[in-house]
Amino acid sequence: MNKIFEIPLYPYTRSPDQDAQTPVRRKVVVVGAGPIGLAAAIDLAQQGIEAIVLDDNDKVSFGSRAICFAKRPLEILDRLGCGQEMVDKGVVWNLGKVFFGDRKVYEFNLLPEEGHRRPAFINLQQYYFEEYLVKRARALEAEGAPIELRGQNKVLDVTDKGDHTVLRISTPDGDYTLEADWLIACDGAGSPIRAMMGLDFVGRVFEDNFLIADVVMDADFPTERWFWFDPPFNKGQSALLHKQPDGVWRIDLQLGWDIDKEKEKKPENVIPRLRAMLGEDVTFDLEWVSIYTFQCRRMEKFRHNRVIFAGDSAHQVSPFGARGANSGLQDTDNLMWKLGLVIGGTAPETLLDSYDTERIHGADENILNSSRSTDFITPKSETSRIFRDAVLDLSEQYEFARPLVNSGRLSVPCTYDGSPLNTPDALPGGPARTRPGAPCPDAPLDNGYLLGDLGCRFTLLTVDADAPDTIDEAGITVPRLALSAADDATGALAARYLGDAKSAIYLVRPDQHVAARWDTYDETATRAAIRRATGQE
Amino acid sequence: MADLNLKPNLAQADDVYADLLAAHEGLSKEDSDALNARLILILANHIGDRAVLRAALDAAKSARPAG
Ligand SMILES: Cc1cc2nc3c(=O)[nH]c(=O)nc-3n(C[C@H](O)[C@H](O)[C@H](O)COP(=O)(O)OP(=O)(O)OC[C@H]3O[C@@H](n4cnc5c(N)ncnc54)[C@H](O)[C@@H]3O)c2cc1C
C-alpha cells in the first residue's frame, strides 16, 4: 500500500488559463497548498469567492511535521467542514509525565474544562490534516463552489500592479501568466514570495538541532506525553515521546549545535539512540527521520498592499507548544471574513489593516511563548541551566514548581486586546475571558454547542436580554441568537458570558471573536459597534 | 499588594545569617549554586507577588558598588 504522502493528491492538469491570449484575472490566488493555504481557499469558497490555489508540489506535506492540534483550530475547522474528521482520527490525550535524569519527577493531567464540543488537543499527523482539507476543497468544488487546486504550478515571480498582482507560473507544460485581484501568500517559512518582494523576516535562530523521528511500533506505551530533561539515553539534552494515530510515535531528540546532520540522520546512528530510549526489546520501524533547527521570527507587516502573508510565511515559531499550524489557521480565520467584506464592496480596504494589528499581536504572543519554552529546554547560560535544574528538582516534591516547568505551553488563541475593531467593554461584571477581542469560548446548549450556533457571520448573542431579531447596518445583516442562562443546566454559559451580570448582549464577529458587549440592548451603540467592527467608521 | 520591605525585618538577624551559611557549609560551588537557585524559587513562590519580586530584583541589582 502506498503511504498517503506518496500519492499525488492534486496532480497537475492543464488549465485553460494557460492557453489564454491575455492573462486571466482571478479574484483570489492562494500560493501554497499547505494547511494554511488550503484553509484560506476553503474559507473563501464557502463565502462564494473565487480562490485558485497554486502549489509547486502535488502531495501532502513531506516528513515529520505538525502533530498537535489545539481546540481553537479544531473549532475553526468545524466551520471549514473538517473538524469532525480530525477529531475522529486524532488521538486525544490529557496525561503527561516529566522525567529529569533517570527519574520521573511528576505526572500531570491537563484536566480540560468541561462544556466544550472539542477536546483541548488532539494528536494527528499533518498529512491527514492536509488530506482532509484537500477532500473538503474537492467536495466544495464538486458542489460548484469557485475553488481550484493547481498542482505543479510553481510561482516564479510576482509583480505588484497597485490594484492587482501579476504572477509568472511554471508548470510541466511551460510557463504562463496569471493576474490576481488579491494574492494570499501561504508559501511556508521559506516563502519565495517574501524573497521575491525583498521583504524582511527577522528574529532569533536557536542554536540547536532536533532529531525528529516518527516510528511505527506495537508498544503499549500509554497515550501520554512524556518529556525528558537530561535523560541517560540523551545526556545533557532533552527528549519527547508522543503518540499519533496508526501506532505511530513522535520522538524528538535534542542533539545540540555542533553536529554532523547527515551522519546523525543515518539509520545506523538513529536506531541505537531510539533503542536506548524505548528499550532493547521494543521493535519499531522508522517512518521518518529529519533534523530541524528552529527559529522564532516574523515579518514586520503581513499585508503588503494586495499581497497578504499568512501562516509560516508570515511567522515562524519553534514547535514547542504546537503553535505553527495552530496559529496559521487563526490567521486565515481572521483574514478571510475581512477580505470577503472588502471584495464584496461592503467594507473599505483599510479593514485589512486590522489583520496586521490583530495577527501580529497573535504572532508576538506565540513567539514569546515558544522562545520561553526553548530557553527552558535549552538553557542559554550556566545560570539559566542552574535555575532550570532547580525547578525540575523542586518539581518532584513540591507542586508549586510544576507550573514553572516549561516543555512547551500549548497553544491557546489570543485575545485581540486594543484592536481598532473593538468597542470598549460595556458589560459591568462580565467575565474577563469574553471581553471585547476575546475568542468566544464554547458552551453546551440543549441540543448542541454554542459555537455551532454562532456560525461564520456576525451574530448578536443575547443572554437573558431583549433585542431585535435582525439588525441591518452598513451593509451587514446581523441575526440574533437568543439564549437564556437556563439553556445550559451546567451553568457554563452563565459563567462564561454573564459572570456577575444579569443579562448580556454580545456582538460576535464571523471569526467568533467578541467585538462588543453590553448588559442591555442599545440600538445606537450596537449600530456603531457593527460599523467599527467592519472598519466603517 | 505589599511593597518591598527594605527596612530591618529579621528579629534574629545573626541567626538567620548563620542558618544561610550553615546550609552551604561543605558544599561544592556547584551544589551551593543549585541550593541558592532552589531557595530563590521557593521564596519567590512564597512571596507570590510579581511586583514585589521585580522590586527585589531591582534592589539587588542596584546594590552593587559603583565602578
Ligand atoms: C517538527 C515539526 C513539528 C511541528 N509541530 C507542530 C504542531 O504540533 N502543531 C502545529 O500547529 N504546528 C506544528 N508545526 C508547524 C507546522 O508544520 C507549520 O506551521 C505548518 O505546516 C505551516 O503551514 P503553511 O501552510 O503556512 O506552510 P507549509 O506547510 O510550509 O506549506 C507551504 C506550501 O507552499 C508551497 N510553495 C512554496 N513555494 C511555492 C512556490 N514558489 N509556488 C507554489 N507553491 C509553493 C509548498 O510546496 C508548500 O506546499 C511543526 C513543524 C515542524 C517542522
pLDDT digits (tens, 9 = 90+) for A258-279: 889 889 889 888 898 899 888 8
Residue A408 is predicted with a pLDDT of: 87
- Overall average pLDDT of the A120-148 stretch: 95
Residues of B in contact with A101 (CB under 8 A): none
Q: Which three cell numbers stand for residue B5?
A: 520591605
**Tell me, what's the pLDDT at A2?**
55
First-to-last alpha carbon distance for chain A, in angstroms, is 58
Listed in sequence order, the residues at least 6 apart from A421 whose beta carbon sits closer than 8 Å to its beta carbon are A354, A358, A509, A515, A532, A533, A534, A535
3-state secondary structure of B34: helix
Q: Hey, what's the cell of A222?
A: 500509554
The predicted model scores a pTM of 0.94
Q: Which of A46-55, A231-240, A388-397, A466-475 has the lowest mean pLDDT?
A: A231-240
Percent residues over pLDDT 90 in chain A: 79
Rounded to whole angstroms, the Cα distance separating A331 from A355 reads 8
Domain boundary, last residue among A313, A338, A361: A313
- Which pLDDT score is estimated for A93? 87
Element (H, E) at A289: strand A284-298
Q: Of B29, B35, B36, B45, which to mutate for an interface test with A (greatest number of A Cβ within 10 Å)?
A: B45
- What is the domain-level CATH number for residue A489? 3.40.30.120
Atom of ligand 1 nearest to the CA of A316: 19
Give the separation between CA A37 and CA A329, rounded to whole angstroms: 9
Closest CA to A229 of A348, A383, A98, A394: A98
Residue having the nearest C-alpha atom to atom 13 of ligand 1: A66
Last residue of a domain, one of A313, A334, A357: A313
Contacts of B31 in chain A (CB under 8 A): none
> Which residues of chain B have a pLDDT value below 70?
1, 66-67
Is residue B27 less than 8 Å (CB to CB) from chain A?
Answer: no
The answer to whether A279 and A215 have CB atoms below 8 angstroms apart is no
- The one-character DSSP state at A453 is H
Contact present, A351 and A339 (Cβ < 8 Å): no
Residue A299 and residue A448 share a domain: no
Report the pLDDT value the prediction gives residue A459, as an integer from 0 to 100: 98
Q: Sort A197 into a burial class: Cβ within 10 Å, 0-12 / 13-18 / 19+.
A: middle
A69 CA distance to ligand 1 middle (Å):
14
Residue A140 has pLDDT above 50, yes or no: yes
Segment A84-111 shows an average pLDDT of: 92
Of B62, B41, B39, B59, nearest in space to B51 by CA: B59
Domain check: are A15 and A157 in the same one?
Answer: yes
Query: Where is the domain boundary, A250, A282, A313?
Result: A313
* CA-wise closest residue to A421 among A521, A328, A352, A339: A352
pLDDT score of A484 more than 50: yes
Mean pLDDT for chain A? 94
A305 and A446 both lie in a single domain: no
Higher pLDDT, B1 or A240: A240
Sort A96 into a burial class: Cβ within 10 Å, 0-12 / 13-18 / 19+. middle
ipTM of the complex: 0.95
Total number of domains constituting chain A = 2
pLDDT at A299: 96
- Any domain includes A362: no
Secondary structure element (H or E) that encloses residue A97, with its range: strand A95-100
Amino acid found at A190? G
Q: Residue A178 sits in a domain of what CATH number? A: 3.50.50.60
Give the alpha-carbon dihedral of A38, A43, A47, A50, to 10 degrees: -20
Strand ranges in A172-223 using DSSP code E only, listed in sequence order? 174-185, 202-217
CA–CA separation, A418 and B14 (whole Å) = 52
DSSP A73-103: HHHHHHHHT-HHHHHHHSEE--EEEEEETTE
Pocket of ligand 1 (CB under 6 A): A 31-37, 54-57, 61, 64-68, 126, 154-155, 186-188, 192, 212, 292, 311-313, 319, 322-326, 328
Residue A414 lies in a domain: no
Report how far residue A238's alpha carbon sits from residue B44's, in angstroms, rounded to the nearest whole number: 26
Q: A386 by DSSP, 3-state: which? A: helix
What would the pLDDT profile of A383-411 be if each residue is shown by its tens digit? 999 999 999 999 999 999 999 999 988 88
The answer to whether residue A32 sits within a structural domain is: yes
β-sheet with A121-123: strand ranges across: A68-70, A121-123, A91-92
Q: Cell numbers of A408, please?
A: 512547551
Which grid coordinates are listed for B51? 511586583
CA torsion through residues A411, A412, A418, A420, sign: positive
- Is the per-residue pLDDT at A1 higher than 50? no
Q: Strand, coil or helix: what is A108?
A: strand
d(C-alpha A328, C-alpha A316), whole Å: 10
Read off the DSSP letter of residue A424. -
Q: Do B38 and A404 touch (CB under 8 A)?
A: no
Residue-by-residue DSSP string for A12-46 = ----GGGG-SSPEEEEEEEE--SHHHHHHHHHHHH
> In whole angstroms, what is the distance from residue A509 CA to residue A529 CA?
11
Cβ–Cβ below 8 Å for A387 and B37: yes
Distance CA A167, CA A165 (A): 6
| Contact assignment for B45 to A393 by CB distance below 8 Å | no
Asked if residue A88 belongs to a domain, the reply is yes
Chain B segment 34-53 residues within 8 A of A by beta carbon are 34, 37-38, 40-42, 45
Cell of A334: 481572521
What whole-number percentage of chain A has pLDDT above 70? 99
Domain annotation covers residue A227: yes
Locate the ligand 1 atom nearest the alpha carbon of residue A73 and give its number: 11
For A113, phi and psi rounded to 5 degrees? -60, 140
CA of A454 to the centre of ligand 1 (A): 29
- What is the rounded CA–CA span in Å between residue A73 and residue A515? 20
Q: What range does the domain containing A474 cover? A: 432-533
Q: Residue A76 domain-assigned?
A: yes
Task: Tell me the torsion sign for CA atoms A122, A126, A402, A241.
Answer: positive
